[in-house]
Amino acid sequence: MSAAPPREIEIVDSHTAGEPTRVVVSGGPDLGEGALQHRLARLRDEHDDLRRGVIEEPRGSDILVGALLGPSADSTCAASVIFFNNAGYLNMCGHGAIGVAVTLAHLGRIGPGRHRLETPVGQVGFDYGGGSRVTIENVPCHRLLHSVTVDVPDYGFVTGDVAWGGNWFFLVGDHREQLLRSHVHRLTDVAWRIRRALEQGGITGAEGAPIDHIELFGPPQDPANDSRNFVLCPGGAYDRSPCGTGTSAKLACLLDDGELRPGQTWRQESILGTVFEATAEIRDGRIVPRITGDAYITGHGRLLFDPGDPFRQGVSETAR
């Protein structure tokens, strides 16, 4: 009897400001119909082997963000998308949405113009002008808690804001760190300690949601920019891009504090020195952010899942 052929999954890889995205184009499971939140639940509960196999070693790495394309219940949307990483599933992903937009153009599914994506937390509009540049209009963002102080073991007291930008963030400006690429191991350790202190202190997002992103801010290296950040993602890897949802959360804090006007551009620099340009407007009393960045296609091919491969579902590593 011949062996079963390997399962094939078509993927397109890209990076946005240095942060990679792997889009699953075809070969994924049938998640049925209905609300995207329900389809995400089916993916998580019944088909998590897709996430693990696509993202984890030996095919992926802990810095990779995945995006499963699917049909949208709203015919005006170019596609639906479910984002995931080595730790699980993401509500939204700003750099990933920019990567998905450029991927859809690469596949010939969209041309220049205004489009929308369906995400588990709502529709995200985007403007694609051709080439690498995309502007996404994120879901509304807001600050939940201002000037929250936590005692971080073996570090001291840290004060920050809890804000929503499509994911929950703790944004800290009063740390004692230098935001340099050469310091990423130290920054990762400090940010992880802060996250653990939030958990131990019972500090959460709305309705008890975990704060799974820690964002440290400091002065930019390039004076043309407004700020530099270091973002620790849920699985313990740091964001190479300026982080779209994190920049959205930052905009909410800046507008609340009167440090940024609606429509004023904020240039957010990443730990790599790449930049997102961001603005926000007030619409029906809600802060709506717009994030502009560049994504580049780095690969288009197939992943093979041999039934006899003991690591076909990935090699999981528990973060920290």
Q: Which helix (H) or strand (E) holds 83?
A: strand 79-85
Whether residue 77 lies in the annotated active site: no
Residues facing residue 7 across a β-bridge: 305
Distance CA 301, CA 159 (A): 45
Confidence (pLDDT) at 38: 94
Residues facing residue 9 across a β-bridge: 303
Whether residue 93 lies in the annotated active site: yes
Which DSSP state fits 29? -
Confidence (pLDDT) at 184: 97
Confidence (pLDDT) at 3: 66
Catalytic residue among 141, 233, 243, 253: 243
Answer for the pair 62, 51: CB distance below 8 angstroms, yes or no.
no
User: Residue 264 has which token pair?
Assistant: 């004023």
Catalytic residue among 93, 141, 233, 253: 93
Confidence (pLDDT) at 316: 75
How many residues are given for the chain? Answer: 320
Per-10-residue mean pLDDT of the chain, 320 residues long, equals: 78 98 96 92 96 96 96 93 95 96 98 96 94 96 98 96 97 95 97 98 97 97 98 96 98 98 98 98 97 98 95 74
